[in-house]
Amino acid sequence: MQDPNEDTEWNEILRDFGILPPKEEPKDEIEEMVLRLQKEAMVKPYEKMTLAQLKEAEDEFDDEDMQAIETYREKRLQEWKALKKKQKFGELREISGNQYVNEVTNADKDVWVIIHLYRSRT
């Protein structure tokens, strides 16, 4: 199997059809690690606090604390959106031949349809 990150015409075609994810631009690893650690350092003190401790510390909040909370909120919101996107569909339905075109052929382009054909014995 070929390396999906390799720059080949085949991989570009697969990316165009959405089979392979878009190629990420190379980033400076050290810069990325420093930024990640800085964000985590701002949020960490509040992650392990109980609700009572947070209410007690609420009076002492300053702009930096509010920024840390907003960063944490955005992170959690992105995680929630990613989870929601993954759980888009996931149901099993029985359809008749009359419904096939509407349910399978005319399905959204970003929806996977798996079909199990069988003949009823009744």
Nearest of 120, 111, 117 to residue 91 by alpha carbon: 111
Q: Which two tokens stand for residue 39?
A: 């964000």
Q: Is residue 48 in some structural domain?
A: yes
Q: Is residue 118 in some structural domain?
A: no
Q: Is residue 113 in some structural domain?
A: no
Q: What are 81-108's pLDDT values in tens digits?
A: 888 777 666 678 888 888 988 888 888 8
Q: For the residues of the chain, what is the DSSP string, one character each?
A: ---TTS--HHHHHHHHTTSSPPPPPP--HHHHHHHHHHHHHHHHHHHT--HHHHHHHGGG--HHHHHHHHHHHHHHHHHHHHHHHHTS--------GGGHIIIIITS-TT------------
Q: Is residue 121 in some structural domain?
A: no
pTM over 0.85: no
Q: What is the end-to-end Cα distance of the chain in Å, rounded?
A: 46
Number of domains in the chain: 1
- Domain coverage including residue 63: 9-105
Over pLDDT 70: what percentage of the chain?
84
Q: Is residue 28 in some structural domain?
A: yes
- Lowest mean per-residue pLDDT among 4-8, 10-14, 44-48, 70-74: 44-48
